[in-house]
Structure 1
Amino acid sequence: MNPRAEFVERVRLHEQLAGTGRAATPLTDMLRAGIDTRIGSVDKVGDGVVALHDSTELPFDYALLAVGSTVVAPADAIPVGIWEGAERARALLGELSADAAVTVVGGGLTGIETASEIAESHPELRVRLVSPAVGASLSPRVQRRVLGVLERLGVQLVHDTVTGVRAGDDARSGTITLSGGEVLDSALTLWAIVSGVPDLAARSGLRVNSDGRAVVDQYLRSVSDPRIFVIGDCAAVPGARFACATAGPQGAHAAATLARLIGGRTPKPFSMGYTGQALSLGRRDGLVQAARRDDTLRRLHISGRLAAVSKELVNRYAKFGARTAIYAWVPGPVRLPR
């Protein structure tokens, strides 16, 4: 079940909106023969039934809930972490006149990649990145490298918080308001701050934590209904962060666990460790930050063209794993209590 007929690589949405790459592949090209694809939106999951918004009900023996995380932007800003937002931003970018201001709100990896991709591919625009901190999940040394590349690309850094966004009547009259009251022009404002997870698990009556993420057992099954596996950003796994590096291992493990259960074998508890973070800085530069398995940072990192190639290989491997179910990861220490 999916609301659209395409598989969307969220790690490539900054390329989609900048016009430098494509983030969507037909689901029919991703799935093996014999898998039935249904396009639609789900209202509830539970009691052995998936209830759709159109009142259709699909019975199940097992279900896997993988709705990810979402971005909720102010009315006059465009969320860049979802397909619809990236497509809308791509269309509007093509309509902007030279020297128009584009503001990216959010200094995480998504915001950094979005700002650098637009700055490199649209040098005629003024690109601004607004956030109290830039690259906070990276080591200080890598953060300095990121800031240097953004400066080279001409991205203006504003270390502040956006409190208001107003779209203009034309391509030059939009504005953003900062926490100190300063008002800046912004022909296009892109929101790159993850807001949380969709409320499907809570709406379905599954037990969720304070963030709305479904509480799962050591096998990634909902503690409310063991027939429902919950994977990715919407699963409450201690020590896990929002990332494809999290969702990939969880999806593969849940599928393997389901196969074990159907085959009458004993399932294995979920365990995974991280290896680092990777980000692109345009098409020819990037950074790879190494990490320990508990996701604490190491000093080791690579940058430049080699890092850009490494990030591209990471993206390709993530898609390969999703399409083939061939996926490997390091064990522990991210695991669930027994």
Structure 2
Amino acid sequence: MNIVVIGAGYAGTGAANRLSRKAPDTRITVINPRGEFVERVRLHEQIAGSGTAARPLTEMLRAGIAVETASVDKIGDGVVTLDDGRTLAFDHAILAAGSIANPLPGAIAVGTWEGAEQARTALEALPAGGIVSVIGGGLTGIETTAEIAEARPDLRVRLVSSTVGAALSAGGQRYIRDTLARLNVEIVADQIDEIDGTTLRLGSGTELDSDLTLWAIIAAVPDLAARSGLAVDADGRALVDATLRSVTDPRVFAVGDCAAVPGMRMACATAAPQGAHAADTLAGMIKGRAARPFSMGYAGQGMSLGRHDALLQTTDRADNAYRLFFGGRLTAFGKELVSRYAAYAARTGRSVWMGGPKQ
């Protein structure tokens, strides 16, 4: 049986390794645009020069898994067409293409490997006193802002967003703001309308100078599913049934950021269990077992605040924030363990997760 896995992030890499272990007679090919596995949870470290976020993909995949360094142009009837015109036949495919950013012209998207490398180079070239503006008050924006502010205290760093940590409890939001203030980060509660060279034009009519503008909003997915004729939602995510199979083509599983799974947020905490479930379902189908519905619940959200601080927000299984949160050096150590586990789960395919909230 031929299995193709499109994308080698947390979902795709974990799915390929788990399936290789559970169904060793399958032929698995992973297709990825680059030859590296990128730890997206460490891209802020890559940008600030405080860590590295990539390692060779060959180090992450089990022996026997083939790798095609290419982009997929289209998923057809049992065939994927690569950007160089070659085709690969499949019996089943796992679509794990991840997410992308659509920055305003003049900003660098920091949620991708290419953007993070571009941002790192630009940041290194900034002289003391330079102004860095990070657009977006979600997890990516907060982590990027804090990491840069701690690594480069000689720069003026600001976070531009109408909300900061909106998914956190009131106490968690205060902790974020207090920590950013301690790092001398300016928070501008506004939205960006236009970037004109080194000038930011905000929704309120305010104009700000910015030597380097970083886009930390991840809210889009590649159009591969849509242009392949798979049913998608309004955001372009592949519509799936309860077992994570495409409602258009049951041979195709969609997992991670590019899958429209109700109640799920974009995160490696979501991608890894979905990739593992797809692998388990395929392995079971090969052995004649019926597919089981996917179920997953959250326990919290974690974010780094530089190298010596972090925040862990506890949540219910539906990802609603409780009042309880943790912060400080011990939490930073815990966040580092979580990041290491995410890479371990992808490399081994050994993911564990809680069941979803009761209906």
Structure 1 position 334, deviation (Å):
8.5
| Corresponding residue to 2:133 among 99, 103, 107 | 103
**Cα-to-partner distance string for 1:180-199 (whole Å, 9 max, x where unaligned):** 22211100000011131111
**Cα-to-partner distance string for 1:180-225 (whole Å, 9 max, x where unaligned):** 2221110000001113111100010000111111111111010111
Partner of 1:254: 278
Cα distance in 1 for partners of 2:53, 2:223 equals: 25
- Do the aligned partners of 2:133 and 2:160 also contact (CA within 8 Å) in 1? yes
| Corresponding residue to 1:286 among 293, 298, 310 | 310
- Do the aligned partners of 1:214 and 1:234 also contact (CA within 8 Å) in 2? yes
- Do the aligned partners of 1:238 and 1:334 also contact (CA within 8 Å) in 2? no
Aligned pairs (5 A) from 1:95-134: 95-134=125-164
Cα distance in 2 for partners of 1:164, 1:48 equals: 44
- Do the aligned partners of 1:240 and 1:334 also contact (CA within 8 Å) in 2? no
Aligned pairs (5 A) from 1:1-338: 1-167=31-197, 174-333=198-357
Structure 1 position 97, deviation (Å):
0.8
Structure 1 position 333, deviation (Å):
2.6
Name stretches of at least 5 consecutive residues in structure 1 with no aligned partner: 168-173
Cα distance in 1 for partners of 2:229, 2:283 equals: 26
Aligned residues: 329
> What TM-score, normalized to structure 2?
0.90
Partner of 2:10: none
Letter in 2 for 1:214: A
Letter in 1 for 2:75: V
Cα distance in 2 for partners of 1:333, 1:321 equals: 23
- Do the aligned partners of 1:239 and 1:334 also contact (CA within 8 Å) in 2? no
Letter in 2 for 1:150: L
Identity %: 60
Cα distance in 2 for partners of 1:334, 1:106 equals: 32
**Cα-to-partner distance string for 1:132-190 (whole Å, 9 max, x where unaligned):** 011101001010000000000000110001111133xxxxxx12111122211100000
Q: Where in structure 1 do 4 or more consecutive aligned residues deviate above 4 Å?
A: none
- Do the aligned partners of 1:105 and 1:131 also contact (CA within 8 Å) in 2? yes
Structure 1 position 251, deviation (Å):
0.3
RMSD over aligned Cα atoms: 1.0
- Do the aligned partners of 1:99 and 1:125 also contact (CA within 8 Å) in 2? yes
> What TM-score, normalized to structure 1?
0.96
Secondary structure of the residue aligned to 2:125 is coil
Secondary structure of the residue aligned to 2:88 is strand
- Do the aligned partners of 1:294 and 1:334 also contact (CA within 8 Å) in 2? no
**Cα-to-partner distance string for 1:270-289 (whole Å, 9 max, x where unaligned):** 10100010000000000000
Structure 1 position 46, deviation (Å):
2.3
Cα distance in 1 for partners of 2:224, 2:299 equals: 30
- Do the aligned partners of 1:48 and 1:60 also contact (CA within 8 Å) in 2? yes
Cα distance in 1 for partners of 2:138, 2:321 equals: 16
Cα distance in 2 for partners of 1:28, 1:207 equals: 33
Cα distance in 2 for partners of 1:232, 1:219 equals: 13
Cα distance in 2 for partners of 1:244, 1:206 equals: 24
**Cα-to-partner distance string for 1:300-328 (whole Å, 9 max, x where unaligned):** 21100111111111111111000001110
Partner of 1:171: none
Structure 1 position 265, deviation (Å):
1.4
- Do the aligned partners of 1:272 and 1:334 also contact (CA within 8 Å) in 2? no
Secondary structure of the residue aligned to 2:69 is coil
Secondary structure of the residue aligned to 1:117 is helix
